[in-house]
Structures are given as C-alpha cells and as structure tokens.
Structure 1
C-alpha cells in the first residue's frame, strides 16, 4: 500500500491561507472572507488571560477599522500545514501587521471540493 501524498491539497490550502495573508496586509476583509466558512470562529486569550472571541465576523470588523491599516511591509510565513483526508491544520506567523505580530492557527475542512477555514485561534506577540 502506498502512502498518500497531498501536494495538490497543500497547494489549494496555501492559496486559501494566502487570501488571509493578503487581506491582513491590505487591511481589507473582502480579500480574506472567501477563505472562511460563514460559521467560522476565532478565539484568543487577552492580556488579562481571559478567553476572547466568537464569530469570524469579529475579525472582519476588526480588519476594516482602526487600529488596523494597510501594512505592505508586513511579512508572513506559512510555517506548517498538516493534512489528513478532508481535514487540515495550518500555522501562519506574521510580523508587523498594523504594528502587531501574530501566530495564527487554523483548522480547515474540504467541503464540496473546496478548502475552507472553520476556526482560527491566535496569539498576539508582545511588541519589542
């Protein structure tokens, strides 16, 4: 029995993740929205150590308003993609997105032949 390869799936997932990256750089949720399921969620832990987040619309609202602004100098790297069948997880590290640095963790599912982000959790790094 041969081991499965996921090259085409990896390429499709990175295209989805690049929509997120480009939306962050341009501070435009309209660019990243197609990457997410309408039911997607986003969560993090705030500076007080409390859980914060909810529907992905909260991300879109934040991206389209201050303090977020276009950040053409922002740098992001897709650090990891792990795929098994129709499920995947990925990590993106980003620096200088509107002056913030993040580590984002995504869960994706392949629904009706298309990869979509169903959840995001993230960590905001302390500015140097």
Structure 2
C-alpha cells in the first residue's frame, strides 16, 4: 500500500500519545519528549489565569514536581484526522495524584506525527 489508511494514521497517533502517557506515569519527560515538536506549546488555566508557553515548561514540571505513578490510567477518548492534521483528547487519572483532560493538536511532519500544541484542564481533587 502506498497511501496510509485511516487505521494506519490512527495507530501512529496513538503511538505518539502513548509516549506522553508513559512519560507522565513514570514522571520522566525524556520518555514523552519525542512526542512533541520542538516548537510545541502548552496552555491551561492555573488559579483562574492563563498559564503556559513553550513545551519545555511541561518537561520541567514533570521532572521536578511529579512522582512516578504506578496506578496511573489513561484513555485516548477520541482522535480526529484530516490529511496531515489531527486532534486528540486524552483523559488521565492518578498522574502524581492529579486528574487531567488534555487536548492535543498534531501535524504530520516529514512523514511523522508530532504534537504541536497541548491545552489541558486539571480536574479538582476528590
């Protein structure tokens, strides 16, 4: 097959998202870093205000403030793909005691899917 199918593209995106999920669960940004484009950004609301910027902020937080979470769970809720653009939603539970909903925008660059932006919602602690 010369043209990838939706299933091929979906599986390639899931592989990228799984790097993110594994890195979060293990509190190791080196695992998740390959999922992101070097120009990627991250934004969310912290204390009622917009917070974020370059993706390096995520990596720094994972490495300094998070702890490995052997009971972490993740669900890839949806993946939408159109040509070389895609978006995905991932819900995670018990990532260093937190619960998140993340929205990722991905582009297929040089034949590889990469996250170019992430926005997130931190759910209140139970």
For the superposition of Structure 1 and Structure 2, which TM-score range results when normalised by the shorter chain?
Answer: over 0.9
Aligned pair partner of 1:81 in 79, 89, 108: 79
Report whether the alignment pairs 1:117 with 2:109.
no
Q: State the partner residue of 1:104.
A: 102
Ranges in structure 1 where 5+ consecutive residues have no aligned partner: none
Q: State the partner residue of 2:58.
A: 59
2:69 & 2:56 partners in 1: Cα distance? 21
1:7 partner SS: helix
Number of residues paired by the alignment? Answer: 123
Residue 5 of structure 1 deviates from its aligned partner by: 4.8
TM-score, L = length of structure 2: 0.95
2:25 & 2:63 partners in 1: Cα distance? 11
Ranges in structure 2 where 5+ consecutive residues have no aligned partner: none
Q: RMSD of the alignment, in Å?
A: 1.0
2:87 & 2:101 partners in 1: Cα distance? 13
CA deviations 1:42-95 (Å, max 9, x no partner) are 000112x210000000000000012x0000100010000000000000000000
